[in-house]
Homo-oligomer: A and B are copies of this chain.
Amino acid sequence: MRPNNRAADQVRPIKITRHYTAYAEGSVLVEFGNTKVLCNATVEENVPRWLKGQGKGWVTAEYGMLPRATHSRTRREAASGKQGGRTMEIQRLIARSLRAVVDLEAMGEMMITVDCDVIQADGGTRTASITGASVAMADAFQSIVESGKLKASPMKGHVAAVSVGLLGEDVLCDLEYVEDSAADTDMNVVMTEAGKMIEVQGTAEGEPFSHEQLLDLLAVAQKGIQEIVTAQKAALTD
């Protein structure tokens, strides 16, 4: 039995709060159960040096975790003088996922940076970050449209993500920290709202997994992502 009597294929209660802070063009607090991530999207009217003069836009992301987002305190990356490998891996994943649903050509020479900062971590922070960042980015593009600098948002649809895993015989959706630590295989799936795949990252922490198990994991992920997309859409129509 999962914590809170969740069914194996059930995602945690999802809460998406827009306009969470006052200054960012898009600001979303996304909650998957006890996992809480603040996603702030910033619009800037310039692009990285290597992209200048090509008439295209860029979307990037940064990820951070407050030192006490976790059960025991982790060292502040600013104090240790560098971002760890896990942080870099995650922020690269978030950025790729967001770019996959944006028409960069249509965006013009603008840049959106989404900062995903984990306030509280109970598993699935990277998939929650992608999910919340998609909504924050939508608000940021909306602000550009409202300012008259673009006629229409270059977003092609939402991107959402969920983690799935194998715990013994069970295929679980949206793992909490205690489940994640015990799982044999952990998989992060990023999809468009249309159900197409953007990223699939499955890792055997314990036993290797079979082709059949992979298919089971994907099926559960697809179902979960549909629920998450529904929550994204509901938040944007509030």
Q: Could you list which residues of chain A lie within 8 angstroms of chain B, going by C-beta atoms? A: 21-24, 27, 34, 36, 38, 40, 42, 44, 62, 64, 66-73, 76-79, 81-89, 91-92, 96, 100, 113, 115, 117, 119-120, 187, 191-192, 194, 196-204, 207-211, 214, 218
Copies of this chain: 6
The prevalent SS among residues of A at the interface is: mixed
The residue of chain B having its C-beta at the shortest distance from the C-beta of A20 within the complex is B119
Selected from B27, B87, B199, the residue in CB contact (under 8 A) with A202 is B199
Write the nearest CB–CB distance from A20 to chain B, whole angstroms: 9
Q: B210 touching A203 by the CB < 8 A rule?
A: no
Q: A89 touching B96 by the CB < 8 A rule?
A: no
Write the nearest CB–CB distance from A27 to chain B, whole angstroms: 7
C-alpha gap A115/B113 in the complex (Å): 25
Q: B204 touching A100 by the CB < 8 A rule?
A: yes
Q: B197 touching A21 by the CB < 8 A rule?
A: no
Query: Given A21-B120, A120-B22, A200-B214, is A68 in contact with B42 using a C-beta cutoff of 8 Å?
Result: yes
Q: B218 touching A196 by the CB < 8 A rule?
A: no
C-alpha gap A189/B122 in the complex (Å): 28
Q: B208 touching A66 by the CB < 8 A rule?
A: no
